[in-house]
Structures are given as structure tokens and as C-alpha cells.
């Protein structure tokens, strides 16, 4: 319990933002003889409070990373194989209790999407393991699952069952389950409803990102990258929107001006951090970025004021972080896996 705090956790980001602006307002007032100018500027700045949070809301270990090495740590097998290219978000799971000596209980697991390199090509599921999270060994030279289209996945172990939430064909979210992370069974397409219980409008709902807490499954999904919505369930059968409006919208800057999609939720020191990717339409070259937002309730989010956390020109997205002792690693996945570590 933080007895010295005078605001609720839900108001922490707003309080921090006001503190960040207060000095600027004071300095501006001293320099400007025009009270009206100060008021206009103040209104403009306060109106933006809901879109960003100050850097103090984001511990450096969650947002400051440098590239590891001079090449990606995992790439597609290439021409002549089933995975000419890889794409979208893959997923890495770390078992801190495993030392990597038992092939049946690897320390690091990587699930990824491979395909024949043609945009319309069917996307299949690949699998690799690692002792150190840097050097990877594929389980086999073929997909571990090829009965259905699978891409852009997140994998959560729960009650001795691996749950994979992924996009299927036409960017429709689906659930697969497995007893061992290798042999998968498709449970079916996710049934997502509006807040009033009616089905959401037909169309894509992809990049499923799931957070499980206190028996409630939280599903973050995007629709044509136009925003990120939140739905919940307790039975994994029917997911109901918390709101029919997005909980995160595009528009902080050119790095997420028109498109956003969530990749991961992390709970750290009592707060939730969302890693999401964003981009802008109409640019000469489409560049995707890795960004962070913070929340105290999974519904109201404030974007990191220094987004993106990697240079935009690197075009690295579908990022997730993995605990590495008291630090974190950042892996970006699309269209190859790069590792970033604490500076």
C-alpha cells in the first residue's frame, strides 16, 4: 500500500502529466505578458493529456533498449523450404526453471509463422527452441501445424494446457490448444460480441493479445489496424466488449498516425504496460514502429511520450519483452527476429 500517494492509481498518469506541464506553464507565464496567450496554450496542452504519459510513468528497463549484435537472431529458412519468409508476431516463452538440457522441456520456445513468400500464401506454424534465447534450433524441417492458417500468435500456458490465440484466414482471431506446445488442436474462431451481446460487425478482427487475471481473460484485438478494442470472458466461449469504442487509437505521431495493433501486456510494479506497433498510411515506404502505453485498469491507456522506443527507420515491429534477471529483452518479430537488450 502506498500511503504517501494523494491520488488513486487511476489518476497517477494524469497527475504526472500535470506535474510535467506545471513548470512549463510557470516559465511561460513569466515570459509572456499576455494572459490570454497563456490561457490558450494551457487549454491546448491540457487537451492532450489523455494521449500521453510522462517518462516517469515508464521505468527505463521497459523502454530503453539497444540492438544486440549486428544481425537478426532468427530468419526464415529461405528458398526451397516451406518457410521462404516469416511474418507478423511470433511468440517466445521462457521457462526460468529449465536449463535447456532436456529437449522436452526447453528453456526458450519460439512459435512463428512461415509461408512460401507469396502474399496470398497459406501461413503455417513453425517451432524452434533455444538454451539462451539467441541461438535457435528448429524442431523439424516442416510446419508443426498445417491444417489451418495460423499467424500473429500469442501463447499462454494455463492449467497444463497451452493456449494459442492467433489470426486465421482473413484476419479472424482463433484459439488453438496443445498439451505440449507442439501438437495443436484448433478449437475454433473466437466469438466476439458487442457490449450489448450482439455480434460485432463482419470483417477482420486480428492480432489477438490476451491477458489472464483473476479468472478473467482479456482479449485485445484490432480491426484493420484502426484501433485496439478490449473484450473479456470467463469461459473462453463468448467474448464481450468492455466498450464498443477502441481503448487505444492511432494518432500520437507519424509512428502510429493511422494504424495500431497490440502485441503484449506486461504487469510490472502493479501497472500494466502494452507493447503495440503502429504506422502511417500514404508514406513512400511503409514503416512500422514499436511503442508502449501504460494503464492502471487495462481500459484507460496513456502512451509513452518518447514513442517509438526503437528508431522508426529500423522498421521493426511485433515486439514483445522477456524478463532477463532484473532486466528485460525486447524481441521484434517482423519480418525477422531481432534482439534488443538493456543499454
Domain segments of the chain: what residues? 9-47, 60-341
Tell me the average pLDDT across 30-34: 51
Is the CATH number of domain 60-341 2.40.50.140?
no
According to the model, what pLDDT value does residue 32 have? Answer: 53
The pLDDT tens digits of the residues spanning 259-313 come to 999 999 999 999 999 999 999 999 989 999 999 999 999 999 999 999 999 999 9
Q: Return mean pLDDT, the chain.
A: 89
The pLDDT tens digits of the residues spanning 78-137 come to 999 999 999 999 999 999 999 888 888 999 999 999 999 999 999 999 999 999 999 999
| Closest of 261, 262, 272 to residue 225, by C-alpha | 261
Tell me the average pLDDT across 130-150: 97
DSSP 76-99: ---TTSS-SEEEEEEEEEE-TT--
According to the model, what pLDDT value does residue 35 have? Answer: 52
Q: pTM surpassing 0.85?
A: yes
Tell me the average pLDDT across 34-49: 45
Residue 177: band (very low, low, confident or very high) from pLDDT cuts 50, 70, 90 = very high
Amino acid at each position: 500500500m502506498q500511503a504517501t500517494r494523494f491520488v488513486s492509481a487511476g489518476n497517477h498518469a494524469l497527475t504526472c502529466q500535470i506535474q510535467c506541464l506545471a513548470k512549463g506553464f510557470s516559465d511561460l507565464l513569466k515570459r509572456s505578458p499576455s494572459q490570454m496567450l497563456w490561457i490558450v496554450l494551457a487549454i491546448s496542452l491540457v487537451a492532450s493529456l489523455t494521449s500521453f504519459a510522462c517518462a516517469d510513468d515508464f521505468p527505463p528497463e521497459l523502454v530503453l533498449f539497444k540492438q544486440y549484435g549486428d544481425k537478426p537472431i532468427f530468419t526464415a529458412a529461405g528458398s526451397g523450404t516451406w518457410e521462404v519468409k516469416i511474418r507478423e508476431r511470433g511468440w517466445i516463452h521462457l521457462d526460468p526453471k529449465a536449463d535447456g538440457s532436456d529437449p522436452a522441456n526447453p528453456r526458450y520456445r519460439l512459435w512463428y509463422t512461415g509461408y512460401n513468400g507469396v502474399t496470398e500464401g497459406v501461413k503455417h506454424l513453425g517451432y524452434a527452441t533455444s538454451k539462451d534465447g539467441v541461438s535457435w534450433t528448429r524442431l523439424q524441417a516442416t510446419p508443426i501445424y498445417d491444417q489451418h492458417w495460423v499467424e500473429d500468435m500469442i501463447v499462454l500456458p494455463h492449467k497444463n494446457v497451452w493456449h494459442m490465440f492467433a489470426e486465421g484466414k482473413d484476419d479472424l482471431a482463433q484459439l488453438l490448444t496443445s498439451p505440449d506446445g507442439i501438437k495443436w488442436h484448433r478449437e475454433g474462431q473466437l466469438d466476439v460480441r458487442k457490449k450489448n451481446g450482439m455480434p460485432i460487425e463482419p470483417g477482420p478482427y486480428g492480432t489477438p493479445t490476451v491477458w489472464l487475471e483473476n479468472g478473467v481473460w482479456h482479449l485485445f484485438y484490432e480491426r484493420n489496424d484502426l484501433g485496439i478494442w478490449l473484450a473479456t470472458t470467463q469461459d473462453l466461449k463468448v467474448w464481450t466488449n468492455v466498450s464498443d469504442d477502441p481503448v487505444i487509437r492511432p494518432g500520437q505521431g507519424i509512428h502510429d498516425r493511422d494504424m495500431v495493433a497490440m502485441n503484449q501486456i506486461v504487469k510490472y510494479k502493479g501497472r500494466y504496460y502494452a507493447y503495440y506497433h503502429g504506422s502511417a498510411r500514404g508514406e513512400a515506404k511503409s514503416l512500422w514502429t514499436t511503442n508502449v502505453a501504460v494503464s492502471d485498469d487495462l481500459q484507460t491507456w496513456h502512451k509513452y511520450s518518447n514513442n517509438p522506443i526503437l528508431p522508426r527507420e529500423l522498421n521493426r515491429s511485433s515486439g514483445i519483452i522477456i524478463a532477463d534477471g532484473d532486466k528485460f529483452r525486447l524481441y521484434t518479430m517482423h519480418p525477422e527476429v531481432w534482439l534488443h537488450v538493456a543499454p
